[in-house]
Chain A
């Protein structure tokens, strides 16, 4: 990956359970974003957390950011079968230009 690792690479859970995905990155950042991708489709933006924020919520999503450890986590609560997708974190690096770099992604499978 251009940016770092995501953990786990794949996750299989039952509907109703919570899913936690972790992301690490390499450089200093302006913000960190999470995206979702259904197989073969374009990525869809879920949530953005700025470098001076530590936690953010949006519906069933909760994102944390630890800039000292260069890591972030995405929690999806009360998962649904429709949450089955790949989830990627992405960072907007301090390059002087516009360059959003994606991590390796976690493939989430939610069993009904």
Chain B
């Protein structure tokens, strides 16, 4: 079965550069979530989208923005990168988000290293 696809798997950037992370949800899933996970930390909720509209926001810095496109893929844009942005970034998708009892399906993440 198709899973959530994230690209790239690894990304190395320098401070003050920008980065774009991409996520392709499971086909027909209508809800996408982004999480940031530092070493040894729990995943921190950043933002979610339902049917291409922003649904909720968490601890997402103003330097980050995200959107969901007409084909349901999502991109997380990160500008003015800081060393503290180094982390694993996960995308997850779910079906029938409106029912609010749907499990999340995660991609394998993008490991961002800021030097």
Contacts and interface: CB of A to CB of B under 8 A. Distances in A.
A97 B48 contact: yes
Given A98-B97, A100-B33, A43 B45 contact: no
20 contacts: A2-B44, A2-B59, A3-B42, A30-B101, A33-B103, A40-B88, A40-B109, A41-B108, A41-B109, A42-B109, A43-B43, A92-B100, A92-B101, A96-B56, A98-B56, A98-B94, A100-B33, A100-B45, A102-B45, A104-B41
Interface of B: 4, 31, 33, 35, 41-45, 48, 50, 55-56, 58-59, 88, 90, 92, 94, 97, 100-101, 103-109, 111
Contacts of B45: 2, 99-102
B108 to A, nearest CB: 5
Contact of B100 (A31, A101, A104, A105): A31
A99 B58 contact: yes
Given A88-B43, A99-B58, A30 B100 contact: yes
Nearest to B49: A98
Contacts of A30: 100-101
A50 interface: yes
A25 to B, nearest CB: 12
B106 A42 contact: yes
Nearest to B4: A42
A71 to B, nearest CB: 17
B30 to A, nearest CB: 10
Interface in A72-112: 88, 90, 92, 95-105
